[in-house]
């Protein structure tokens, strides 16, 4: 989330609620009273919430982030967090983006038509970068006005209980770093893309010594790879083949183990590698 745009406090757009789908539009109000345009598109099943957030809507800093969290029917509240950047038009480095943790409640005489709460933002290094209030209202009444920015959420069949915890935040891997994961399923799904401005970064991807991608140029469109793992240790190596137009060589990677996601960002110098070790 890039906190740059002053957005009108007049909320002319807002939430639609239909069964397990929630769409909200409104404002983030920072601690210094600066407003930021904000939208949530969520789907909920058995208390587990997935979806996206959009900040700085329709501007040069518009950013879409993955949202995960929990919905508590007992008090009609949400506990949500941004876990990774999916897409952004901002030219700012990814490590300057602010990831929000939100606590939201249905409030007021409008009942479920208004959602309010608080948020706290942190950089990837856990340092606090922002905090404030959130005010969201129903989108349905002005649906036609926001068709250009509305994005439908793909419905997911997720069967989890309230005991499930919030997912891990993005892991940053730099030159020579390695990251160890204990794996549960037989296969791995790997998504790789450039969530920031496309600048010609190229990389090589190996799994267990086999070249899967060579001279691969990361784009905003995600590249999907499915691979059957060996029993025991599996090694994924990401190597920077150039530095693109904006060093270092950066890429976004998401590893999927069944219904568990591991968001990763690599920041590599020329010729350097990062290692992901998977123990099955």
Task: Tell me the pTM.
Answer: 0.55
Q: What parts of the chain have a pLDDT lower than 70?
A: 1-19, 108-112, 138-168
Q: What is the pLDDT of residue 8?
A: 35
Q: Which fold has domain 16-146?
A: Lipocalin (2.40.128)
CATH 2.40.128.20 in the chain: give the residue spans.
16-146
The CATH number assigned to the domain with range 171-279 reads: 2.60.60
Residues 129-176 have pLDDT tens digits of 999 999 888 666 545 544 545 545 444 433 333 233 345 678 999 999
Question: What pLDDT does residue 115 have?
Answer: 85
Q: Where does the chain hold its CATH 2.60.60 domain(s)?
A: 171-279
Q: Say how many CA atoms lie within 13 Å of 181 toward its Cβ.
A: 24
pLDDT of residue 111: 54
Sign of CA dihedral 19, 81, 62, 244: negative
DSSP string, 83-141: EEEEEE---S-GGG--EEEEEEEE-STTGGGEEEEEEEEE-TTS-EEEEEEEEEEEBGG
Percentage helix, strand, coil, to 5, in the chain? Answer: 5, 55, 40
Cβ neighbors of 92 (< 8 A, separation 6 or more) are: 2, 61
C-alpha 115/C-alpha 134 separation (Å) is 8
Please report where in the chains the tokens 């939201």 appear, as a residue: 104
CA dist., res. 156 & res. 188, Å (int): 18
- DSSP run (H or E) holding 267: strand 260-268
Look at residue 157 in the predicted model and tell me its pLDDT.
36
pLDDT tens digits along 49-77: 999 999 999 899 899 999 999 999 888 89
């Amino acid at each position: 989330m890039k906190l740059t745009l002053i957005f009108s406090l007049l909320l002319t757009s807002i939430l639609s609620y239909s069964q397990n789908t929630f769409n909200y539009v409104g404002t983030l109000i920072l601690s210094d009273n600066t407003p930021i345009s904000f939208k949530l598109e969520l789907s909920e099943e058995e208390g587990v919430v997935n979806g996206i957030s959009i900040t700085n809507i329709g501007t040069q800093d518009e950013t879409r982030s993955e949202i995960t969290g929990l919905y508590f029917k007992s008090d009609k509240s949400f506990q949500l967090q941004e876990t990774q950047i999916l897409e952004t038009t901002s030219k700012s480095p990814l490590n300057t983006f602010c990831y929000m943790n939100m606590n939201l409640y249905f409030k007021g005489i409008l009942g479920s038509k208004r959602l309010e709460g608080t948020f706290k933002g942190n950089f990837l290094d856990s340092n606090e970068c922002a905090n404030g209030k959130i005010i969201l209202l129903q989108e349905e009444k002005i649906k036609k006005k926001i068709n250009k920015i509305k994005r439908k959420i793909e419905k997911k069949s997720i069967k989890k209980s309230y005991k499930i915890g919030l997912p891990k935040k993005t892991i940053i891997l730099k030159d020579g770093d390695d990251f160890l994961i204990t794996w549960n399923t037989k296969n791995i799904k790997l998504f790789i893309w450039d969530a920031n401005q496309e600048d010609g970064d190229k990389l090589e991807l190996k799994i267990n010594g086999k070249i899967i991608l060579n001279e691969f140029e990361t784009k905003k469109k995600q590249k999907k790879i499915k691979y059957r793992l060996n029993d025991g240790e599996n090694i994924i190596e990401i190597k920077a083949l150039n530095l693109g137009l904006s060093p270092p060589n950066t890429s976004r990677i998401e590893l999927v183990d069944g219904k568990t996601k591991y968001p990763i960002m690599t920041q590599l110098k020329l010729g350097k590698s990062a290692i992901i070790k998977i123990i099955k």
